[in-house]
């Protein structure tokens, strides 16, 4: 397994991004029956200013977001709701992910989630994007959210999409 973590914003050093990234990559790839030792991912821990710049450059949306991903190859499924095919070699690189500290911190606080759990969810989400999963079409979104939830549950992290009813609280 190769997760190359680039710390661009120093606040990520104390947040344990490298350990979170390695754990998220291993859990995601193993869940999809891929050998983590066969694949490479690059993750950049940045701040809101940097991710806003990247979001503007690549998506024409110059505002901060939590996570961005750039797959090394197009892997999406043709049919809405179908799983993408597995990546194939010989190039082991799956792609790159950028994650913004301030946005992640704010979202975790607003959603009442532990910061590490929220970051792990976003990393799993980004890795799934590298593997061709998406959430633009409805059935694709349902599939991606189900897989995220399964992976996170195996990691001991609660369903990030569950919103408790007022009576459940």
Q: What is the pLDDT of residue 1?
A: 58
Compute mean pLDDT per 10 residues along the chain, 169 residues long, and list them: 91 95 97 95 98 97 97 94 89 96 97 96 98 96 97 96 65
Strand order through the sheet with 67-71: 2-7, 40-46, 93-100, 67-71
Q: What is the pLDDT of residue 2?
A: 86
Give, in words, the CATH class of 2-75+90-154.
Answer: alpha beta
Q: What is the pLDDT of residue 162?
A: 83
Residue closest to 4 by CA, chosen among 52, 49, 44, 42: 42
Q: What is the pLDDT of residue 34?
A: 95
Q: What is the pLDDT of residue 89?
A: 77
Q: What is the pLDDT of residue 30?
A: 97
Any idea where the domains of the chain sit in the sequence?
2-75+90-154
């Amino acid at each position: 397994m190769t997760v190359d973590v680039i710390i661009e914003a120093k606040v990520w050093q104390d947040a344990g991004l490298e350990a979170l990234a390695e754990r998220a990559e291993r859990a995601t790839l193993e869940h999809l029956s891929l050998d983590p030792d066969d694949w490479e991912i690059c993750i950049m821990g940045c701040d809101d200013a940097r991710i806003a710049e990247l979001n503007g450059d690549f998506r024409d949306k110059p505002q901060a977001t939590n996570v961005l991903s750039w797959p090394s190859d197009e892997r999406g499924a043709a049919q809405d709701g179908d799983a993408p095919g597995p990546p194939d070699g010989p190039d082991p690189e799956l792609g790159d992910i950028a994650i913004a500290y301030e946005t992640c911190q704010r979202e975790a606080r607003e959603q009442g989630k532990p910061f590490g759990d929220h970051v792990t969810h976003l990393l799993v989400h980004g890795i799934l994007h590298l593997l061709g999963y998406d959430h633009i079409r409805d059935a694709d979104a349902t599939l991606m959210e189900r897989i995220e939830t399964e992976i996170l549950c195996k990691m001991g992290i609660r369903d990030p999409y569950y919103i408790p009813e007022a009576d459940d609280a």
